[in-house]
């Protein structure tokens, strides 16, 4: 059949174009990815490098022992770092495009700055503490050694000796802490040692100050004795208790000097029988003894107690300082059998036998014997006092 054109007929509907789903999806995905890329591209970047640097700075401060030597600063740096992280976390909650990390960076910078300060402070403080500890240990050890050598023979309360021992123990502990690099503890222990030795030193100084109250009187006695020797051209004996020396003068000139040993409680004037103290005063040789008349090789018995001693003793008894039934004591001698290296007599003055021979031959009955606390003032007495009764003192008899 032929195709017949009908001009009035409705034109046929064109077939709808087939949808290209593959293309559409790709376009949508491209659009989504593109948008994401743009958002990522134009969003603020997190301060990863800045934060990592701050973290490394804090770690470095820790490594440099800031936890020990700059704990407050380290804590602050760690706090800033944590704040920075929290701010970062807070920004992460926001939509990407609206994130602003400037506060995070500022806080991380603060953490870095504080960590650097902590590190620097730690190093400085550690070095400084090391120096302080080393110096303090040396000085305290020297002070302990000085006090030990200078006051070794000084009658001291057990408590004072314990203070010295505690001081030594603390300084040993300080040295141990120093060895393992704990300078803070080393300083703390040396400071305790220093305090204890200082307190022992203060007590000793107090005792010495009390002792030296009589220094003017001693000076007067010594001058008077030497003058007498010069005037009479006679020998005199002067005993310096602090220096543990016995001097012999003739015609006002020193002719001999011997080391001596005293009673264990030699510091201070003899007050009563059995106190182990050596009297101070102006005496004279009452009796010379040798052979079976003395138990100590040779002896020069002096006239203790003299009138002043008796008066002092009675006054002390009246005050109640000394018991009513106490005795004043006596039989104080300058005798031999010394050289034991200790203050061992009951209040006498002991010389080595060879020195006693010399002295015995130089003096006679009636020879003045002046016993004083010290020939020098307190300021010089102990710095120069090296005449401890170690038995090695030199006889300088001429």
Partner 1 sequence: MKAKALVTVLVVVFAMAMMLGCAKVPQADLDAAKAALDAAKAAEVDRYLPELFNAVKDSLNSATAEIEKQNSKFALFRSYKKVKELLAKVTADANDAVNQVAVKKEEVKTEVEGLMAQVAPAVENVKGLMKKAPRGKEGRAALEAINSELAAVEASVAEANTAMTNGDFLTARDKVQANLQKLASLAQELQAAIDKKLGR
Residues that bind partner 1 (CB under 8 A): 19, 21-22, 25, 29, 36, 39-40, 46, 48, 51-52, 55-56, 58-59, 62-63, 65, 67, 81, 85, 88-89, 91-92, 96, 99, 155-156, 158-159, 161-162, 164-166, 168-170, 172-173, 176-177, 180, 182, 185, 189, 261, 264, 340-346
- Kindly state the tokens that stand for 186: 């080393």
- Least distance CB 111 / partner 1 (angstroms): 10
- Least distance CB 10 / partner 1 (angstroms): 32
- Least distance CB 271 / partner 1 (angstroms): 18
Place of tokens 């403080």: 125
- Least distance CB 155 / partner 1 (angstroms): 7
- Least distance CB 27 / partner 1 (angstroms): 12
Comparing CB distances to partner 1, the nearer of 202 and 308 is: 202
Helices (H), the chain: 21-42, 48-63, 66-69, 71-92, 102-150, 158-179, 183-211, 215-232, 307-319, 353-362, 378-384
Q: How far apart are alpha carbons 345 and 339 in whole angstroms?
A: 11
- Least distance CB 233 / partner 1 (angstroms): 38
Which residues are CB-neighbours of 36 under 8 A, at least 6 positions away? Answer: none
Is there a contact between 210 and 155 (Cβ–Cβ < 8 Å)? no
Place of tokens 């003032």: 377
Q: How far apart are alpha carbons 238 and 246 in whole angstroms?
A: 6
Comparing CB distances to partner 1, the nearer of 31 and 318 is: 31
Which residue from 123, 119, 105, 127 is spatially nearest to 77, judged by alpha carbons? 119
Comparing CB distances to partner 1, the nearer of 87 and 222 is: 87
Comparing CB distances to partner 1, the nearer of 338 and 373 is: 338
Comparing CB distances to partner 1, the nearer of 175 and 234 is: 175
């Amino acid at each position: 059949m032929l195709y017949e054109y009908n001009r009035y007929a409705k034109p046929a509907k064109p077939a709808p174009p087939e949808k290209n789903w593959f293309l559409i999806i790709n376009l949508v995905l491209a659009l989504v990815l593109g948008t994401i890329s743009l958002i990522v591209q134009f969003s603020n970047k997190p301060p990863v490098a800045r934060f990592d640097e701050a973290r490394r700075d804090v770690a470095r401060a820790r490594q440099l022992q800031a936890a020990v030597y700059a704990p407050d600063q380290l804590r602050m740096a760690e706090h800033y770092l944590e704040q920075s992280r929290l701010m970062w976390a807070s920004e992460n909650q926001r939509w990407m495009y609206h994130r602003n990390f400037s506060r995070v960076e500022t806080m991380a910078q603060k953490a870095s700055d504080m960590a650097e300060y902590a590190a620097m402070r730690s190093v400085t403080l550690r070095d400084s503490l090391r120096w302080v500890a080393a110096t303090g240990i040396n000085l305290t050890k020297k002070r302990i050694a000085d006090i030990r050598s200078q006051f070794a023979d000084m009658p001291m309360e057990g408590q004072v000796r314990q203070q010295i021992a505690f001081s030594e123990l603390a300084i040993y502990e300080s040295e141990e802490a120093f060895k393992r690099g704990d300078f803070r503890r080393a300083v703390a222990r040396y400071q305790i040692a220093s305090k204890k030795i200082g307190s022992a030193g203060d007590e000793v100084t107090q005792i010495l100050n009390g002792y030296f109250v009589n220094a003017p009187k001693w000076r007067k006695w010594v001058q008077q004795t030497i003058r007498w020797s010069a005037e009479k051209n006679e020998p005199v004996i002067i005993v310096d208790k602090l220096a543990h020396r016995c001097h012999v003068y003739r015609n006002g000139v020193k002719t001999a000097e011997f080391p001596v040993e005293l009673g264990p409680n030699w510091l201070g004037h003899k007050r009563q029988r059995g106190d182990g103290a050596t009297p101070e005063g102006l005496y004279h040789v009452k009796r010379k003894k040798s052979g079976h008349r003395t138990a100590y090789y040779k002896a020069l018995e002096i006239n203790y107690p003299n009138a002043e001693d008796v008066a002092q003793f009675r006054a002390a008894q009246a005050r109640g300082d000394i018991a009513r039934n106490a005795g004043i004591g006596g039989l104080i001698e300058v005798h031999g059998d010394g050289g034991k290296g200790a203050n061992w007599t009951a209040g006498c003055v002991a010389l080595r036998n060879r020195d006693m021979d010399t002295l015995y031959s130089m003096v006679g009955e009636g020879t003045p014997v002046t016993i004083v606390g010290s020939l020098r003032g307190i300021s010089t007495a102990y710095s120069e006092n090296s005449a401890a009764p170690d038995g090695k003192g030199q006889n300088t008899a001429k």
